[in-house]
Amino acid sequence: MTNQTSNNSPWIAYLASPDGWVYQSAEDAAEDLGPEEEVRIGVARGTAAPTERDGGLRLPGTYQSGDQVFEFETYIDGEGDESQSAAVRFAQAQAMAAGLNAAAAVPA
């Protein structure tokens, strides 16, 4: 059985610390974690989307299959390669989420 609420929810891009705290930008993450730290970047919806918890946005510990398109880890500064930086990769994830929402005619 599929979860229709989850299937109809918008896709969102996220940038989070390794332990799941979500940041609004790579600059915010760099300020909090440091420019050479690792972050998680992904696209999710429904049960895999960040929620308000413990005084901030957090990624869930578990989620239903199909609610996450991808997630990868990168360093905020890209280890000297701007094309691999969190800012560039987060922008790519945001574009992917927008494209998925447009293709499914789901309001973002």
**Domain coordinates in residue numbering, the chain:** 18-101
pLDDT value at 6 more than 90: no
pLDDT of 54 reads 85
pTM: 0.88
Q: 56-83, pLDDT tens digit by residue?
A: 999 998 899 899 999 999 999 998 899 9
Q: 10-45, pLDDT tens digit by residue?
A: 999 999 999 999 999 999 999 999 999 999 999 999
**C-alpha pair distances (Å), 103 with each of 10, 54, 96:** 11, 34, 10
